[in-house]
Amino acid sequence: MTRNARSPLWVLFSLALLSVAAAQQPAQLVIANVRVFTGARVIDRATITVADGKILSIAAAPPARGTVTIDGTGKTALPGLIDAHVHLLTGITEADARAFVSDALSERLQAFLRHGVTTVKSASDPTDLILGIRQDLRDGTRAGPRLLVVGPAFTARGGHPASTVCRGDAWCRANRAAEVDSEEQARREVRRFAQSGVDAIKVVYSSGEPEFNSSFPKLSLEIVRAIVDEARSFSLPVTAHVTEESMALEVLAAGVSGVEHGPNAPLDADALARALKSPERSLVPTLATLAARTTPSLQLRSQTIAALHKAGVRIVVGTDTRQQMPPGLSTIQEIELLVKAGLSPEAALKAATTVAARHLGLEKEIGTLATGMSADMLLVRGDPLRNIADLHQVDAVVQRGRIVFRPGQ
């Protein structure tokens, strides 16, 4: 027999040796005697073993070896939280934005981790700045959550945020908003963003924002369709900023994969639920930003979210966290607001884990505690499935298998 013509028996023997070697690799982290919410079910008592940044096993018995062991007695392990709508970078002028990156960004990134948020998606950011930060996080030269980016938001010429947030500053208007007034220009901008490496596209489909007490131009549906069609050729999902039911229905008909914010008024009928369910799309309600501004819209949007959830719509945690809102803490508050709106603690936790991961297209990597998944975990004292406020009792945060936060350490 030649060296390259090995028998099937030899191949099977070799595979068996590889399997044994993999099973015997030393664990880097062990969390023993812990309640586990996998994102899909609860295991009352188990041991989680982590190696090489991934979950090696979730089993009843502790492993033979482990370099770091945490006693999980009385605690709950759950997937790292996901916030699918933040505004990571602040600053209207270029000088302010770059000063923020230099002086304040690291603390905000760490704040997400301290509250168990291991993944965020940031919207309406200057592309060069946000892509550089994403690369730093990937390289490990910055500490912080996994970062997905969309770059500037597509809007009509003179629309939001160009004429609202960026009013009076040309740099902000050029770098936080992509103002388009033709299908050809919209497609060209989508290609430019795709080639730069963004993870998704965001469009603003609104003609007024109560926060700014103003009205402004809105994208045409033809342009929205062109954006969606061009983005699809790059496998980029498109979500839409809307605050009215009629506009949500229009933009969903144009093909977007999700709605950000949502209606601030009671629903007229079940049309929005049907549009969000077939095919399945997501609603990211951002209740926390309304609570932060103590606006009366919070109760109305909460009622809408409750009705849509009851109808089977996929609800995803996103906060609209910006400068005045506490990073990470707002994510926990969003989950609490979903429970207050009528979701069960389990449903609200899924909205920040398994469901959010599916919304971001990362369900094979994060959002669930299972063998082979990235070891992004939050360990809390107590049981948030019974008392959602236990999310505030953070005992440890693990990201890609490393402990990135423990109180007092």
Note the pLDDT of residue 336: 98
CATH at 89 = 3.20.20.140
Rounded to whole angstroms, how far apart are CA atoms 201 and 190? 8
Whether 18 and 38 share a structural domain: yes
Domain residue limits at 45: 8-78+371-405
Cα 32 to Cα 46, 58, 64, distances in angstroms: 6, 10, 12
Whether 285 and 272 share a structural domain: yes
pTM of the model: 0.92
Whether 342 and 245 share a structural domain: yes
Whether 395 and 313 share a structural domain: no
Whether 155 and 178 share a structural domain: yes
Rounded to whole angstroms, how far apart are CA atoms 111 and 340? 24
Whether 156 and 302 share a structural domain: yes
User: Does a structural domain hold residue 333?
Assistant: yes
6 has a pLDDT exceeding 80: no
Whether 157 and 208 share a structural domain: yes
Q: pLDDT grade, residue 211 (50/70/90)?
A: low
Reported as a single tens digit per residue, the pLDDT across 66-90 is 788 899 999 999 999 999 999 999 9
Burial environment of residue 351 by CB neighbours within 10 A (0 to 12, 13 to 18, 19 or more): buried
8 has a pLDDT exceeding 70: no
Range of lowest pLDDT (67-76, 113-122, 181-190, 223-232): 67-76
CATH at 18 = 2.30.40.10
Residue 135: phi, psi to the nearest 5? -65, -40
Whether 228 and 133 share a structural domain: yes
Cα 242 to Cα 249, 251, 263, distances in angstroms: 10, 9, 7
Residue 208 CA neighbour count, 13 Å, CB half:
7
User: Does a structural domain hold residue 3?
Assistant: no
User: Does a structural domain hold residue 274?
Assistant: yes
Whether 112 and 236 share a structural domain: yes
| Count of residues making up the chain | 409
146 has a pLDDT exceeding 60: yes
Whether 140 and 14 share a structural domain: no
Nearest to 328, CA basis, from 116, 88, 119, 124: 116
Residue 40: phi, psi to the nearest 5? -125, -30
DSSP string, 126-179: -HHHHHHHHHHHHHTSS-S-EEEE--SEEEETT-TTTTTTTTT-HHHHHHHEEE
Cα 130 to Cα 1, 169, 282, 286, distances in angstroms: 57, 19, 24, 21
User: Does a structural domain hold residue 281?
Assistant: yes
Q: pLDDT grade, residue 295 (50/70/90)?
A: confident
- Report the pLDDT averaged over residues 317-324: 93
3 has a pLDDT exceeding 50: no
Residue 395: phi, psi to the nearest 5? -105, -35
> Are the beta carbons of 41 and 77 closer than 8 angstroms?
no
194 has a pLDDT exceeding 50: yes
Whether 284 and 352 share a structural domain: yes
Whether 74 and 138 share a structural domain: no
Cα 121 to Cα 81, 130, 218, distances in angstroms: 12, 11, 24
Rounded to whole angstroms, how far apart are CA atoms 238 and 258? 7
User: Does a structural domain hold residue 365?
Assistant: no
User: Does a structural domain hold residue 366?
Assistant: no
Count of structural domains, the chain: 2
